[in-house]
Structure 1
Amino acid sequence: MPTPDQDLRPPADEELVHHELPVHEVVLLLGTHADRGLSTAEAADRLRSAGPNVLPRLDRRGPWLRLLLQFHHPLIYILLVAAAVTLALGEVVDSGVILAVVLINAAIGFVQESRAEKALDALTALVRTEATVVRDGARHRISSEELVPGDVVVLEPGDKVPADLRFVSVEDLHVDESALTGESLPVAKEPAALPTGTVLGDRANMGYSTTLVTRGRGRGVVVATGADTEIGHIHRLVGEAVQLETPLTRKIGRFSRILTAAIIGLALLTFALGTLRGEPAAEMLTAAVALAVGAIPEGLPAVVTITLAIGVSRMARRRAIIRRLPAVETLGSTTVICTDKTGTLTANAMTVVAVSAGGRGYAVSGSGYGPAGQVTADGTAVDVGGQPALRACLVAGVLCNDSRLTGQDGRRQVIGDPTEAALLVVAEKAGLDLGTLLGAAPRLATVPFDSERQWMATLHHSDDGRVVAHVKGAVERLLAMSSGELRADGTTGPVDADAVHARTEEMTGRALRVLAMGTVELPPGTRELGEEALSGRLVLTGLQGMLDPPRPEAVAAVRACRTAGIRIAMITGDHAGTARAIGEQFGLGDDGVLEVLGGADLARVPDDELPDVVRRTAVFARVNPEQKLRLVEALQREGHVVAMTGDGVNDAPALRRADIGVAMGVGGTEVAKEAADMVLTDDDFASIEAAVEEGRGVFDNLRKFITFMLPTSFGEGLVILAAVVLATTLPVLPTQVLWINMTTAVALGLALAFEPLEADVMSRPPVPPSRPLLTGELIGRIVLVSTLMLLGAFAMFEWAMASGESVAAARTVAVNVFVVVEVAYLLNCRSLDRSIRRVGLLSNPWVPAGMVVMLALQLVFTYAPWMNALFDSAPIDAVWWVRVTVVGIAVLVIVETEKWLRRRLGGRRRGGDVPATG
């Protein structure tokens, strides 16, 4: 044994692996005592030196930075330049309008992001954790923040492990480590040293911060606190993971650069053509600015933000809280969802789903710890009173049990081992009253579960004076102890070991964890219980098979995502066999083949071969946090938009790196929520599918708005360019252009943000990340409508001038042509491929409301004297309204005809299979 003077610490560049060392060496290394712990004075010194046992918070944007970042957008830069140019030209009203748009856009984004942060804070508020620590030889209850390396911590059922511990002694200690390792079942702990290279999930002599004690008792010495814990390591990975731009921000940025180049080119062309014709430079500069102002889509940033904010609101109603606005659309572009298993696809609640008793098999419905469900045989509910063997099997599971359930049915919590809780719940589903059973058979003695013994037994005194022992444990051990087996009619017969093995193999083949139940009637007056009193006298009453079941709604959600062309990859820390069974239940394999790869095998795959492995593998089991991160990065290098779901600390680095990280709000850890872009308030995978649906709807509506808005901007620019080329009076002025752009964007374009989801939104494949916002088809439509606006507005302006109208009146006619055409074109844009008849006018009430508001604004623009003075407009006769309306109807008919032709041509290219879209 080393002396106190020996320094057993490894060199600074080597990791200290406490699980490989015997207990006495760990205790000596940490300068403590396994029984007395640290002195109070030593603990205070170490706290000053090591700091509190807390995780450093990930950096969050302060309010001022969040506000400034609202202006960091390519289109905002364009608007700021436009405002500066118009102000330099003395157009104070124009500049003020543009700046107002910028400020409104920033305010909306800031308020929405702040509200999302507050919602997240409400979900992640930490409950103060306390720990029982031994100092100066006495137990104390202190805040976990005060723990230091060398402290000796005592753990009881229900305690959270407050720091990383090396166990010194244990008594049937089981710890739920699912948040850290992904292991769905509680892990049995023991203090013996482990071999070199033992992976994290198999370190039975260690306890890790934030994991939960489900059963038994233990004592451990703190080996790491705060940032030095395993959770601290993962926290660092989270901080190092680079967050990527979303597909929307990339596409908007690319679109904005192209649009900026086009606007500058048209403005320069206008100025050059005019000056070459001998026009005054000042007038041509005004014309160029008018063209630029007309072509700049002032309303785009505001409407994009508002559309995303509406998506945030819709997702919140469907139990998904968005932290960053662009993440709303990212889900709609997702091509791969990498999902954790425990608590995400499964309920994270052990559930008995099958019982075998008296030679008969029973199915159990329902999942989780609520009593909803029933026990059935051949699809028919059974009366447990008429099934003696079934009742005996269930009673044994209730009485030989150290766990209990608390809370209401919808929010029940387990105090103790989830496996034992499942035995309580199945008895309730069969109609047994737990309180009555426990009250009628008080416990006299207990033989606790032991990893070597592999069974647990309890001794009970019943009301009729009998003394009965109930036993549960591994099938093989109880078979070896059994002298008989309970038959269906309640009589006892010889054990049919082959039949028991066959039933066990059938259950384990379904990835069920199987426990055997048995009873022994002992002589009256028996007060002690030992293995010798049970061996050879046990009557086997039955088997119970349980698992962490798939969420029923998650099965449907995964199916919907796959139908939508989204690939689902399950990445879990659980064992390969369990992961395969869950993957098969979710149908994750292609063509009936499910490829499963373990973490050890994944570690041996070189980077150049990883893309091929990722493409063909649907389930990755027993992976660590670094491997999850590596898989996400490999998918992104292949061009995928990756959503990562998870609830554990081990998921956090991948959540951070993914294009969108989705954390569980109820069962998720604080670190996972901090790393995620979206938090589910109900921990339901089905909410992810709903969010994908909403995200696709947001992307659809953004494309509709851009398709609606650009023809006006380009049309106005073309009208001004045509006037310069033809050396004629400008049909519209810069202030009038701003009036058109802002009023139509808000009154008409904003209505498209409220468009309901289209029926086929989840039957389409994902939008490829490389596809721009506007396809060639939509660009063609934009050019068509821009040309129609150019012809209509210019022709009506020239007609009005030829009819003797004043320049102001003729310009008013041209302005009204743009507005009326946009009113008509709005109906075309409610669907980019379906007809107006299929969409229906009243399915979005904001559309008719916006049309009425817009027409009312135009009446004010045309006839209010103060508006005439402000915008150089003038009243016009009713006949001009009729002519303008005819132009609007003509555009409506032409665009609907163009959509019809595209559908027909598209159907012929597909061999005549035309979708029924009208």
Structure 2
Amino acid sequence: MQLQTNKAWHHLEPQDVIGSLDSHQTEGLTSSSAQQRQVHFGPNSITGQQPVPAWKRLLLQFHNPLIYILLCATLVTFFLREYVDAGVILAVVLINAIIGYIQESKAEEAINSLKKMLSSSATVLRDGEKKTLPATELVPGDIVFLASGDKVPADMRLLECRDMQVDESALTGESVSSEKHLQLLAADTVLADRNNMAFAGTLVTYGAGKGIVTSIGDQTETGKIAHMISEAKALETPLTRKIHAFSKLLLWVILALAAVTFGVGLLYGMPASETFMAAVALAVAAIPEGLPAVVTITLAIGVRRMASRHAIIRKLSAVETLGSTTVICSDKTGTLTENQMTVQKLLAGSHSYDVSGSGYQPEGDIRQQGNSVSLSDNAALHHLLVSGLISNDSRLKEQDGRWTVEGDPTEGALIAAAMKAGYELKQCEAEFKRIDTIAFESDRQYMATLHRLDAQHNLIYLKGSVEQVLARCTSQLTADGDTEALAQDAIEARVHEFAGQGMRVLAFAMQPVEQTENTLAPFNAREPEQSMIFVGLQAMIDPPRAEAIKAVATCQKAGVRVKMITGDHALTARAIASQIGLQNNPGQQTDDLEALTGRELSELSDTALTEVADRVSVFARVAPEQKLKLVTALQSRSHVVAMTGDGVNDAPALKQADIGIAMGISGTEVSKEAADMVLTDDNFSSIEAAVEEGRNVFDNLIKFITWILPTNMGQGLVIMVAILFGITLPVLPVQALWLNMTTAVFLGLMLAFEPREAGIMSRAPREPDSPILSAEMIGRILSVSTLLLIGAFGLFQWSQLQGASIEESRTLAVTLFVVVQSFFLFNCRSLTSSIFSTPFNSNPWIWGGVSAMLIAQLLFIYTPVMNTLFHSAPLSLNQWLLMLGYGVVVLLLVEAEKAVWRKRKG
């Protein structure tokens, strides 16, 4: 089989395509030839992605340096017969793994969703006869018939088309149906402009056609997207990168300290077994066992909060990634815009009018310079709206409060404009009964309808491109119903003005005819003449969402750059970007938005593309693979990239981005499965809310890490000092585990419920390469660790000097950690602001956590069972007062240190 299926088919004449594929236009392929090609090319289906086995997904939950530390600690403590210690550590590891597995158990189904886009059957010409076959049996060279409502089963070069329009928005991002023709196109024509082709998975919305299959399955444009999805690498989030780096550093620090402890003990002549146990105690004490669980639970809390703000998180790590986002690459159609064409400007009787409202919902009105308009006083405006309403084959329908169009989006916009002015379709159709129609065809560029006015008169309405309509007009209708000479220059100037705002402009004309004339024949006969009466213009656009304008402004204020990447035309994209308020890259001299097309991008080198991706804010007529390249280029500049979209063409970039955001209502299943987050309201403003929640999650994680590390470091220092001075260990391994787990769950976890701090969206995003802890936080951790060392070691020694038992002294040291960490918890509610400026009742969980910790510690101290298990002993009131006093001192010292940092920052 020598067929070449990778040619620029849009650049070949139909007969050349047929010859290249060894087919026949009127006979099609023979059954035997089709069978041979099926063997050679395989089925017309997209190769699915092998799902990750459940056991492997579960094991991957343990692939983390911190988890490795805990597993090693479990084994060591188990072999040393410290079964309680081993059981507690293992329980933490298993809980963490189960939570992660449940949250991320959904297998990637993006490519499998793509399979559903291909139609199940197709009408094919085989052996000279029309046959209905399963779409999977199509092969290159098959002749396929298409009709309105059909899903295109494979990529094909069109051989015939009659008034054929195809909705390709899911593939190209184009908001208006593509009008098909047979003309030859340049070899470098971008995908969205290949109007002599039909692509797999798109929908025929109007007309009919016939084409020859040029590509099937994985070789179709949809199949290529599937391949790009499978090639896109799952990236680590900023948090996971930092946690992994932090865990590795912690691993080496703990091992080094344990080794030093073991070596010093041997030097002091201590028994090897006792010294080894002391080293294990240090390691267990220094490991923050609660960290993995609390990180996971904190992210899960963020998931719940985001769900209440219309953002469904599919992967836990996406929560934090949003907070670190530096660039949002947004699709235009349906994301920043309504994805509903809307008439915004009218020209009738030499006057311009504004149409309020957006989308297909018939709410709004028509105004001139802010004033309401009376339609009874303006004949031109009346006929302009009526012609748009009834010279129309589409319909609007309302379902669950949402208005949608059945048919062409452009015609839906015309219906909505007339309904806003108070016209009713049924009433107008009854008044102007349609007799006949000249259907729209791409080479004709207009549609005409004949309507009965009365017993003697009919009326022709004409709508179409400005050039074709004006070419048939010699006069224009005035507001009072008279006619005057056609002011073509003035009309064309207004057309240029509307087009400059990114609007699509349709022209309308009319012609009264005698009913005795033969329906449409006289009109057809007069086409070359200029005898029509120009009625006016309707200019429409897919308008930006009002919420998106506000959300974009908030994101840009927060230092998050917003870029538009769309398959739509450059002029339209730039106009929408200006209305939304997109800004150039900081540092650019000009205020004019720069927009680049996919063709211009294809001519750039990789280095130039990286520079352009960072600089330019609007990219139009972009192919799916270029969206992917732009996201990758931004990531190469250390940006944390969020990508929004709703179409199949967005799926590869959604998967490649640090966080992919799909639209829940208008989005395809493919985009949803490729994304990390789905917006249930399709509203860009929900992204702003999600970014806000993401920043809060990251803040709360940093607060928790800042809070928990002093406990572990303090315990490690206490044990090291005891070894260095040859003193009995103040804290046993099992007591360290009790301390680590209970304080993490009852105290530290409560920080996950901290509300957002004021001004969270006024600060710049965190630098992607910045360390997880700032110098200020490291200093605080060291200072509090030192205070814990002084307090715990000091009280332990003081208690021994007072003649207390070793159990009582150790209980005193352990409880001091609990008391100080309880006070320090309030310091950590804000890492910068004063505790006295933070509302005490804004997080009731804090008080509940402190109360629960107190109860647990009282059980640890005063119940015989706990005394036996953890080698603890009851404490006196005086000992409690000493610990509480020390806790207050630590709280005040930390607040003083925060005040110094605030003053230093100005």
TM range (shorter): over 0.9
The residue number in structure 2 matching 1:134 is: 124
Query: Amino acid of the residue matched to residue 281 of structure 2?
Result: A
Distance 1:175 1:454 in 2: 16
Work out which of the residue numbers 565, 572, 576 in structure 2 matches 1:578: 572
Cα offsets for 1:693-749 (capped at 9, x unmatched): 121111111111100100000011111112222322221111111001001111111
The residue number in structure 2 matching 1:4 is: none
The residue number in structure 1 matching 2:331 is: 340
Q: CA deviation at 1:48?
A: 6.0
The residue number in structure 2 matching 1:314 is: 305
Query: Amino acid of the residue matched to residue 134 of structure 1?
Result: V
1:595 aligns with 2:594: yes
1:456 aligns with 2:447: yes
Q: Is the 8 A contact 1:120 1:323 kept in 2?
A: no
Question: Structure 2, unaligned stretches of length 5 or more?
Answer: 585-589
Distance 2:419 2:136 in 1: 40
Q: Is the 8 A contact 1:515 1:544 kept in 2?
A: yes
Distance 1:119 1:679, change over 3 A: farther
Q: Is the 8 A contact 1:570 1:619 kept in 2?
A: yes
The residue number in structure 1 matching 2:487 is: 496
Q: CA deviation at 1:357?
A: 1.4
The residue number in structure 2 matching 1:836 is: 835
The residue number in structure 2 matching 1:615 is: 614
Moved more, 618-627 or 527-536: 527-536
Distance 1:144 1:429 in 2: 43
Q: Is the 8 A contact 1:154 1:220 kept in 2?
A: yes
Q: CA deviation at 1:176?
A: 2.4
After TM superposition, the structure 1 = structure 2 runs for residues 358-397 of structure 1, keeping only pairs within 5 Å, are 358-397=349-388
Q: CA deviation at 1:385?
A: 4.1
After TM superposition, the structure 1 = structure 2 runs for residues 721-800 of structure 1, keeping only pairs within 5 Å, are 721-800=720-799
Cα offsets for 1:294-328 (capped at 9, x unmatched): 10000011111111122222223323233322222
Distance 1:723 1:502, change over 3 A: same
Give SS of 2:333's match.
coil
Work out which of the residue numbers 65, 68, 75 in structure 2 matches 1:74: 65
The residue number in structure 1 matching 2:700 is: 701
Distance 1:145 1:843, change over 3 A: farther
Give SS of 2:606's match.
coil
1:528 aligns with 2:527: no
Distance 1:57 1:411, change over 3 A: farther
Q: Is the 8 A contact 1:334 1:643 kept in 2?
A: yes
Q: CA deviation at 1:533?
A: 4.5
Q: CA deviation at 1:145?
A: 3.7
The residue number in structure 2 matching 1:406 is: 397
Q: CA deviation at 1:758?
A: 1.8
Q: CA RMSD in A?
A: 2.5
Distance 2:200 2:111 in 1: 21
Give SS of 2:332's match.
coil
Q: CA deviation at 1:583?
A: 2.1
Moved more, 677-686 or 354-363: 677-686
Q: CA deviation at 1:70?
A: 0.7
Q: CA deviation at 1:472?
A: 0.7
Query: Amino acid of the residue matched to residue 846 of structure 2?
Result: V
Q: CA deviation at 1:850?
A: 0.8
The residue number in structure 2 matching 1:95 is: 86
Distance 1:740 1:122, change over 3 A: farther
Distance 1:593 1:118 in 2: 41
Query: Amino acid of the residue matched to residue 133 of structure 1?
Result: T
Moved more, 847-856 or 198-207: 198-207
Distance 1:495 1:54, change over 3 A: same
Cα offsets for 1:824-847 (capped at 9, x unmatched): 111111111112233212212211
Give SS of 2:7's match.
coil
Cα offsets for 1:617-642 (capped at 9, x unmatched): 22222232332222222222222112
Distance 1:35 1:882 in 2: 99
Q: CA deviation at 1:409?
A: 6.6
Distance 1:798 1:192, change over 3 A: same
Distance 2:380 2:469 in 1: 16
Q: CA deviation at 1:407?
A: 4.0
Query: Amino acid of the residue matched to residue 562 of structure 2?
Result: I
Distance 2:428 2:132 in 1: 35
Q: CA deviation at 1:678?
A: 2.4
Give SS of 2:765's match.
coil
Moved more, 879-888 or 140-149: 140-149
Distance 1:118 1:646, change over 3 A: closer
After TM superposition, the score normalised by the length of structure 1 is 0.93
Q: CA deviation at 1:798?
A: 2.1
The residue number in structure 2 matching 1:855 is: 854
Q: Is the 8 A contact 1:338 1:644 kept in 2?
A: yes
Q: CA deviation at 1:816?
A: 1.1
After TM superposition, the structure 1 = structure 2 runs for residues 634-673 of structure 1, keeping only pairs within 5 Å, are 634-673=633-672
Q: CA deviation at 1:89?
A: 1.2
1:567 aligns with 2:561: yes
The residue number in structure 2 matching 1:675 is: 674
Q: Is the 8 A contact 2:596 2:618 kept in 1?
A: yes
Distance 1:465 1:93 in 2: 101
Q: Is the 8 A contact 2:558 2:761 kept in 1?
A: yes
Distance 1:760 1:117, change over 3 A: farther
Q: CA deviation at 1:803?
A: 2.4
Q: Is the 8 A contact 1:311 1:694 kept in 2?
A: yes
After TM superposition, the structure 1 = structure 2 runs for residues 104-119 of structure 1, keeping only pairs within 5 Å, are 104-114=95-105
Give SS of 1:368's match.
coil
Cα offsets for 1:325-349 (capped at 9, x unmatched): 2222112111112222222222222
Work out which of the residue numbers 536, 544, 556 in structure 2 matches 1:550: 544
After TM superposition, the structure 1 = structure 2 runs for residues 289-328 of structure 1, keeping only pairs within 5 Å, are 289-328=280-319
After TM superposition, the score normalised by the length of structure 2 is 0.94
Q: CA deviation at 1:36?
A: 5.0
Moved more, 161-170 or 642-651: 642-651
Q: Is the 8 A contact 2:303 2:319 kept in 1?
A: yes
Cα offsets for 1:115-138 (capped at 9, x unmatched): x66999999995884444034566
Distance 1:489 1:603 in 2: 54
Q: CA deviation at 1:887?
A: 1.5
Give SS of 1:57's match.
coil
The residue number in structure 2 matching 1:484 is: 475
Q: Paired residues, what number?
A: 897
Q: Is the 8 A contact 1:333 1:641 kept in 2?
A: yes
Distance 2:114 2:278 in 1: 56
Moved more, 595-604 or 505-514: 595-604
Distance 1:905 1:145, change over 3 A: same
Q: Is the 8 A contact 1:513 1:546 kept in 2?
A: yes
Distance 1:885 1:796 in 2: 12
Moved more, 857-866 or 601-610: 601-610
Query: Amino acid of the residue matched to residue 269 of structure 2?
Result: G
Query: Amino acid of the residue matched to residue 93 of structure 1?
Result: V
Kindly, what percent of the aligned residue pairs are identical?
53
